[in-house]
C-alpha cells in the first residue's frame, strides 16, 4: 500500500472519490465476459467502451491497487489487454462518439494521445506487456500520419487532413514521447522534437497568448481560440518535457506556463465565441483537461486552489448524487451517435485523477527499455 501525499487532494478525499468510481466501472462490465476477460459497455451507446476510455479506467484500477494493496492491478491488466485486442491493425484507436450512425468509427489521434499516459502508467505499475505493445503500436501509427505539408504536424484524422489541429499534434507528441521512454527508439524522440518545435512556433502567431484550435496549412486560422483545447495542449504537453533536452525543455515549459496564464485569465468569464470557438467543448465544468493543465504546475498557489476546489466539488457531488454528478450536458446531433456520455466523462475524470497522482512530468527521463519487458 502506498500513502499518497499530494498538494492537490487529501487522502480521505481521494478514497471517497476512487471507491465509488471503481464500483461504477465494475457495474459496467459486459455480463458475457469470461473470467479472464473484461470489456466495459457504455450504457448510453450500448457499445463496448472505446479503447481510449477503457485504458483510462485501467489506470484508475492500477491506482486503486497502489492505494489499497488489492487485486485491482489484475483488473487493470484485463482491461488493457481487452483494449489492445480491439486496437485497429494499423495501431490507431477509434472513436464511436459523435459519428454518423451509418459510418465506421473514426480513427482519431486524440483517442491515442488521451490514453498514452494511462498505457504508460499501467505498464509501469503492472509490467503488463499489452500496455507497452499498444502504446508502441500507436506511436508507429503516428509516424505514418506525419503531414506532407509540415514535418512537425500530424494528421489528426481522415476528416481533418485539410487543416493542422494543434492539440492533435501534441496528443501525437505525447504518445511518441511515452513510447520513446519504453523503447529508446530514436525515431519517436526525433519526431517528438519536430512536433514540439512546430507547435511552439505557432503559439501567439495569430493572437497573443493563444493557439487557435486549427490552422490551414498556410498558417491562417481555420478554427479560432479554444480554452478547453489550449488546456489540453498544456495538460498533455508538459509530460513531454521528460524526454526533451534541457534547452528545448525550458523553452517548451515556458510556453506552456504562458499559455496557462491565458487560460486562468479567461476562465471566470465563461465560454464565448472568442474563447471557445468549437461548439462541442463549451461545458467547461466537465472538461477535465482544464484542471489537468493546472495540475502540471502544482507548486502554484492558484493551481493548487483551482484543482482542489474542482476535486472537492466532485467529492461533494458523489456524496449527494453518486456518479451522476459527472454526467455532462446532453448534446446530440441528428443522425449521429451521442457526442459524449456519463461513462465517457467518468473515464476521462478517472484518467485525470490518475494523472495528478502518478504524473512525474516535472522530472526528466531516460528510456527504460532495458528494465521493462
Pairing type for strands 47-48 and 94-95 reads: unpaired
pLDDT for res 191: 99
pLDDT for res 105: 80
pTM of the prediction?
A: 0.93
**In terms of C-beta density within 10 A (0-12 exposed, 13-18 middle, 19 or more buried), how is residue 161 classed?**
middle
Grid cell in block for residue 16: 471517497
d(CA 295, CA 237): 12
CB atoms under 10 Å from CB of 159, counted, come to 12
| 92: helix, strand or coil | coil
Q: What is the DSSP letter of 207?
A: B
Task: Give the neighbor-by-neighbor strand order of the sheet with 212-216.
Answer: 163-165, 212-216, 221-225
Residue 368 CB partners (closer than 8 Å, separation 6+) = 181, 182
Name all contacts of 10-17 with Cβ < 8 Å and 24+ positions apart: 13/311, 13/312, 13/315, 14/67, 14/357, 15/67, 16/315, 16/318, 16/319, 17/311, 17/314, 17/315, 17/318, 17/353
Residue 241 CB partners (closer than 8 Å, separation 6+) = 249, 252, 253, 361, 362, 364
d(CA 142, CA 177): 12
Beta-bridge partners for 102:
none
d(CA 220, CA 105): 29
pLDDT for res 242: 95
**In terms of C-beta density within 10 A (0-12 exposed, 13-18 middle, 19 or more buried), how is residue 103 classed?**
exposed
Residue 108 CB partners (closer than 8 Å, separation 6+) = 92, 93, 94, 95, 156, 157, 168
Q: What is the mean pLDDT of each run of 10 residues along the chain (373 residues)?
A: 68 92 98 96 93 98 94 98 98 86 82 97 97 99 98 94 98 99 99 99 98 97 98 98 98 98 97 95 93 93 94 97 91 74 95 87 43 31
User: Hey, what domains does the chain have and what are their CATH numbers?
Assistant: 11-371 (1.50.10.10)
What is the full DSSP assignment across 213-268? EEEETTS-EEEEEBHHHHHHHHHHHGGGGGGS-HHHHHHHHHHHHHHHHHHHHHHT
CB atoms under 10 Å from CB of 368, counted, come to 13
d(CA 203, CA 256): 9
d(CA 265, CA 268): 7
**HSE (side-chain half, CA atoms, 13 Å) at 114:** 31
| 348: helix, strand or coil | helix
d(CA 267, CA 293): 13
Residue 369 CB partners (closer than 8 Å, separation 6+) = 182, 183, 184
pLDDT for res 4: 61
Residue 250 CB partners (closer than 8 Å, separation 6+) = none
CB atoms under 10 Å from CB of 280, counted, come to 14
Which of 251, 122, 264 is closest to 182 using CA atoms? 122
Amino acid at each position: 500500500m502506498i500513502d499518497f501525499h499530494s498538494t492537490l487532494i487529501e487522502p480521505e478525499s481521494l478514497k471517497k472519490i476512487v471507491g465509488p468510481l471503481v464500483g461504477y466501472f465494475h457495474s459496467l462490465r459486459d455480463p458475457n465476459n469470461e473470467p479472464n476477460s473484461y470489456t466495459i459497455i457504455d450504457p448510453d451507446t450500448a457499445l463496448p467502451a472505446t479503447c481510449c476510455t477503457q485504458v483510462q479506467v485501467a489506470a484508475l484500477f492500477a491506482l486503486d491497487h497502489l492505494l489499497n494493496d488489492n487485486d485491482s492491478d489484475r483488473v487493470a491488466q484485463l482491461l488493457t489487454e481487452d483494449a489492445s485486442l480491439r486496437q485497429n491493425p494499423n495501431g490507431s484507436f477509434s472513436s464511436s462518439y459523435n459519428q454518423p450512425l451509418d459510418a465506421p468509427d473514426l480513427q482519431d489521434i486524440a483517442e491515442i494521445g488521451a490514453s498514452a499516459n494511462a498505457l504508460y502508467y499501467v505498464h509501469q505499475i503492472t509490467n503488463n506487456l499489452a500496455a507497452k505493445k499498444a502504446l508502441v503500436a500507436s506511436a508507429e501509427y503516428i509516424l505514418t500520419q506525419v503531414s506532407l505539408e509540415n514535418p512537425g504536424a500530424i494528421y489528426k484524422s481522415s476528416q481533418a487532413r485539410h487543416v493542422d489541429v494543434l492539440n492533435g499534434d501534441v496528443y501525437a507528441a505525447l504518445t511518441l514521447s511515452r513510447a520513446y521512454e519504453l523503447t529508446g527508439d530514436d525515431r519517436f524522440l526525433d519526431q517528438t522534437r519536430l512536433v514540439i518545435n512546430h507547435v511552439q512556433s505557432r503559439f501567439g502567431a495569430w493572437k497573443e497568448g493563444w493557439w487557435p484550435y486549427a490552422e490551414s496549412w498556410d498558417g491562417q486560422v481555420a478554427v479560432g481560440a479554444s480554452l478547453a483545447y489550449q488546456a489540453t495542449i498544456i495538460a498533455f504537453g508538459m509530460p513531454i518535457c521528460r524526454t526533451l533536452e534541457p534547452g528545448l525543455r525550458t523553452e517548451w515549459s515556458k510556453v506552456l506556463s504562458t499559455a496557462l496564464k491565458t487560460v486562468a485569465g479567461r476562465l471566470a468569464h465563461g465560454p464565448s465565441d472568442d474563447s471557445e470557438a468549437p461548439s462541442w467543448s463549451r461545458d467547461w465544468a466537465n472538461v477535465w483537461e482544464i484542471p489537468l493543465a493546472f495540475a502540471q504546475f502544482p507548486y502554484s498557489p492558484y493551481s493548487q486552489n483551482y484543482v482542489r476546489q474542482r476535486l472537492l466539488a466532485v467529492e461533494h457531488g458523489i456524496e449527494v448524487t453518486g456518479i451522476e454528478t459527472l454526467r455532462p450536458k446532453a448534446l446530440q446531433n441528428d443522425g449521429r451517435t451521442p457526442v459524449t456520455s456519463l461513462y465517457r466523462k467518468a473515464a476521462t475524470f478517472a484518467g485525470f485523477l490518475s494523472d495528478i497522482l502518478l504524473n512525474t512530468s516535472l522530472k526528466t527521463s531516460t528510456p527504460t527499455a532495458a528494465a521493462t519487458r
